[in-house]
């Protein structure tokens, strides 16, 4: 089963063009949608989650028309939005049972079995009788995944799932998503580059409502190899370099500024070749560089 998006566009009443002719095919496994805040990622996620309609375009999940047959899609969909609220005084096991009923699990025994299995799978079994208001941020996110997995979805959408998590919870959440993606389509929307580099075999970079790059992370990185140069400079030099060179990124290192530049050969004295990372691809694509043409 594939998710097939064709020519999707959306303009809000305030004039913001959130999506511009988005076309994408996503198969089983983990797919990363990478972009800054305001790139259009959440608009795309809400559209795929059947919460809003586009102005133009089509979306199919397998044989189902997502825009015309929303009830059928919702039977196959799990969704963890960027802002996921819980009832703070309700026990985790009770709320998950309630959400199971809303999802259509009418059989009490089956629902109980499903709820208990999900709590164990998300490592929340020991906290099942705790009020959700006492959960840490990472525990709430894992509860969000538990509710999204009710009904054994074939498409799981997670929007900015690791924002605000501490390193330990982030690793735990990564492990959980990786396990889930072995059998379903997982669409991971994030502005955190390392989430995509750690988890996703395919990705897209989104900027200003458009898909600027769709590729495997390793291939995208290879497209920069031999074309990325770096040098450590004084802060006062950065603006001048930005005017004359294709500056990709700057970073403070021991009080001085390390600049990375995209060029076919050494752009100036003192520059040395740098090993590219996915973050470099992200910055380069946002600045208009054509990575795809060099990656073959």
Q: 253 with 145, same domain?
A: no
By CB atoms closer than 10 A (0-12, 13-18, 19+), residue 272 is: exposed
pLDDT score recorded for residue 141: 87
By CB atoms closer than 10 A (0-12, 13-18, 19+), residue 208 is: middle
Q: Residue 258: which domain range?
A: 221-294
- The residue among 188, 215, 242 that closes a domain is 215
Cβ–Cβ < 8 Å for 188, 195: yes
What is the rounded CA–CA span in Å between residue 157 and residue 240? 43
Cβ–Cβ < 8 Å for 32, 202: yes
3-class secondary structure, 138: helix
What is the rounded CA–CA span in Å between residue 208 and residue 19? 8
3-class secondary structure, 205: strand
Alpha helices, DSSP H, located in the chain: 41-48, 70-74, 92-103, 108-121, 137-148, 167-180, 193-199, 217-222, 238-244, 278-286
Q: 52 with 135, same domain?
A: yes
Q: 33 with 166, same domain?
A: yes
pLDDT score recorded for residue 292: 52
Q: 118 with 237, same domain?
A: no
Q: 60 with 207, same domain?
A: yes
What are the angstrom distances between the C-alpha of 93 and each of 100, 137, 141, 146, 205? Answer: 10, 17, 15, 11, 37
What are the angstrom distances between the C-alpha of 84 and each of 28, 80, 100, 159, 193? Answer: 25, 7, 17, 10, 22
Q: 34 with 169, same domain?
A: yes
How many other CB atoms sit within 10 Å of the CB of residue 275? 10
Q: 33 with 175, same domain?
A: yes
Q: 120 with 137, same domain?
A: yes
Q: 104 with 90, same domain?
A: yes
Is the full-model pTM beyond 0.85? yes
- pLDDT by 10-residue block (mean), the chain, 296 residues: 96 95 95 91 93 96 94 92 85 95 91 95 93 91 91 91 82 87 91 91 94 93 92 86 87 87 90 94 86 48
3-class secondary structure, 26: strand
Q: How many domains does the chain have?
A: 2
> In which order are the strands placed within the sheet that holds 228-233?
247-253, 256-262, 228-233, 272-273
Across 108-142, b (16+ Cβ under 10 Å) vs e yields eeebeebbeebbebbebeebeeebbeebeebbbbb
pLDDT score recorded for residue 291: 65
Cα dihedral sign for 208, 32, 48, 98?
negative
Q: 30 with 114, same domain?
A: yes
Cα 176 to chain center, whole Å? 15
Cβ–Cβ < 8 Å for 111, 101: yes
pLDDT score recorded for residue 37: 85
What is the rounded CA–CA span in Å between residue 153 and residue 144? 14
Cβ–Cβ < 8 Å for 27, 200: no
pLDDT score recorded for residue 237: 84
- The residue among 215, 239, 262 that closes a domain is 215
Q: 9 with 107, same domain?
A: yes
The residue written with tokens 């049972």 in the block is 97
Q: 186 with 263, same domain?
A: no
Phi-psi region of 178 (alpha: psi -120 to 50; beta: other; left: phi over 0): alpha
What is the rounded CA–CA span in Å between residue 59 and residue 11? 17
User: What CATH number did the domain enclosing 209 receive?
Assistant: 3.40.50.300
- The residue among 189, 215, 241 that closes a domain is 215
């Amino acid at each position: 089963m594939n998710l097939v998006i064709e020519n999707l566009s959306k303009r809000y009443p305030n004039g913001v063009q959130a999506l511009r002719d988005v076309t994408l095919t996503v198969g089983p496994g983990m797919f990363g949608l990478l972009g800054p805040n305001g790139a259009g990622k959440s608009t795309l996620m809400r559209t795929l989650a059947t919460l809003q309609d586009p102005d133009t375009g089509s979306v199919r999940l397998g044989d189902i028309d997502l825009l015309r047959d929303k009830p059928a899609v919702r039977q196959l969909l799990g969704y963890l939005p960027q802002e996921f609220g819980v009832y703070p005084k309700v026990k985790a096991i009770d709320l998950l049972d309630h959400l199971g009923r809303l999802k259509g699990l009418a059989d009490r025994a089956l629902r109980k079995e499903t709820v208990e299995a999900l709590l164990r799978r998300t490592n929340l079994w020991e906290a099942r009788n705790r009020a959700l208001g006492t959960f840490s941020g990472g525990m709430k996110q894992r509860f969000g995944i538990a509710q999204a997995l009710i009904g054994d979805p074939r498409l799981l959408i997670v929007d900015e799932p690791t924002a605000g998590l501490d390193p330990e919870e982030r690793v735990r959440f990564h492990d959980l998503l990786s396990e889930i993606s072995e059998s379903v389509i997982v669409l991971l929307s994030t502005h955190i580059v390392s989430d995509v580099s750690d988890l996703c075999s395919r990705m897209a970079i989104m900027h200003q409502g458009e898909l600027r790059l769709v590729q495997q992370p390793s291939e995208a990185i290879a497209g920069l190899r031999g074309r990325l140069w770096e040098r450590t400079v004084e802060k006062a030099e950065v603006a001048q370099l930005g005017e004359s060179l294709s500056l990709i990124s700057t970073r403070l290192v021991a009080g001085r500024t390390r600049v990375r530049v995209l060029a076919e050969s050494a752009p100036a004295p003192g520059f040395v070749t740098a090993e590219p990372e996915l973050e470099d691809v992200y910055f380069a694509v946002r600045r208009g560089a054509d990575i795809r043409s060099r990656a073959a």
